[in-house]
Homo-oligomer: A and B are copies of this chain.
Amino acid sequence: MTVNANYLPGFRVKTASRGDIDPKMLRVNAERLREDFEALAEIDATAEGGIDRVALSGGDLDARLWLAERIEDIGLTLCDDDAANLGGIYPAETQDARTLLVGSHLDSVPDGGRYDGAVGIVAALECMRILVENKIQLPVNLELIDFTDDEGTWHSLFGARALAGILPPDVTNEARTENAPFCAALGRVGLSLRDVPRARRIPNTLAGYVELHIEHGTRLENAGASIGVVTGIVGRTTYEVIFHGQAGHSGTTDMYKRRDALRGAAQFIVRAHEMVRARYGDGIFNCGDIQVEPGKYNIIPSKACLIVECRHISETLMSEMEIAMIQIARECAASHGLTVEIEPKIHMPAAAMAADFIEAIEASCDALGLSYTQLASYAGHAAQALSQIMPCGMIFIPSVGGVGHSPLEFTPWEDIVKGANTLLQTILRVAFA
């Protein structure tokens, strides 16, 4: 039966056994947070100081078990869904309350770092522990959530897309041979691919989603700010680009009649990078892999299969950039007598974070006396998919040198504590808004 009118209009905290608590005084227990962080970083740790815990691997399953035990220790209601998203619920006072999600992901890229995802999970866990310990009754159900395969070992943002109901039907079609390995992986947590669509949530039952994550970039570091207030997440399209030429003896085929698929592909990589840098300052182009056939030193390559991606914060400029990239691929093919197939594989539209979540994060930083700056996320995150059905907010903390997806990730401990306190205060502000 509490009012703290100074904190936020309408901000009310009821406690069952104590008197009024001033929510703005609540802070995470930094020592306990660190114990959790270090225990989690032990699971599938690599010799290089990172982790290798790809989705649904043995290590991911160990981490899920670890999280489930922590959730039960706190006294939350353990829950999971048909996309293997795992969590714990701290129920609201009222039965018909909406649910505020808070979380991140336990999985990593192959040979990844110990901060990506893990920081968001242990911070969310500690926030809930603080709320439970202090018997803060919220007007929303607060649900901690670990999203399955956020990193895309199987399907990028799989758990978040399943929850948002935006997975393409192909992904959950058990009849497709290429889905068999993923079927088997899901079987390890007792789930069936065909049941994944049941993980979809009804939008009007949801109050939103908040996540704390390391930046994977240097803008925070460069700005000297403690907290990044994410305004939006870049759109991303992944393409398969296949150049087809003609094999032939590398020594004897007429030099001016060669149809060298790799030569055309190399020109495409060079020109696409140059085009994006020259004309789309904030845009990203990456060619992450190339497979050559037949792949012999003395045979002219007949096929080069590239995986590329484009990212941009503006959907309009993103489309322009993709059209320009496709044009370059066609020109490079034409100038080497090749044909080219260009197939978009995944498109995640650019996503704006909710204005009231942005305001809540900034107000929390102000209350905590933390410096902050607004920025866009150039990495995809669960909020990108979730924002299609609910308001989302993201809190970034710096990663030294902007390192991401690498065992070299490092964030000073005090920055993690700042981020966790910002998350806690943001949860309270959003819950009581």
Contacts and interface: CB of A to CB of B under 8 A. Distances in A.
Contact of A301 (B270, B277, B288, B299): B288
A404 interface: yes
Interface in A265-309: 265-267, 269-270, 273, 277, 284, 286-290, 292, 294-301, 307-309
Among A215, A255, A260, A300, residue most surrounded by chain B Cβ atoms (within 10 Å): A255
A385 to B, nearest CB: 15
A250 interface: yes
A98 interface: no
A337 interface: no
Contact of A255 (B253, B254, B284, B377): B284
Looking at chain A's contact residues, is the secondary structure mostly helix, strand, loop, or mixed? Answer: loop
Interface residues of A, number: 61
A49 to B, nearest CB: 14
Nearest to A233: B251
Contact of A298 (B247, B269, B277, B309): B309
Interface string A186-225: 0000000000000000000000000000011110000000
Given A263-B269, A284-B250, A296 B109 contact: yes
A377 B286 CA distance: 41
A28 interface: no
A288 B284 contact: no
A377 B252 CA distance: 8
A152 interface: yes
Contact of A288 (B236, B297, B380): B297
Nearest to A268: B266
A406 interface: yes
A160 to B, nearest CB: 16
Contact of A311 (B218, B236, B251, B270): B251
Contacts of A307: 296-297
Nearest to A273: B263
Contacts of A44: none
A184 interface: no
The 9 lowest CB-CB distance pairs between A and B, nearest first, are A249-B404, A266-B269, A216-B252, A250-B286, A217-B252, A289-B295, A251-B378, A266-B266, A297-B307
23 contacts: A217-B249, A218-B257, A236-B251, A238-B297, A248-B402, A248-B404, A248-B406, A249-B379, A250-B284, A250-B309, A251-B286, A251-B380, A253-B403, A262-B288, A262-B290, A263-B287, A266-B267, A266-B269, A266-B287, A288-B300, A289-B301, A298-B380, A299-B405
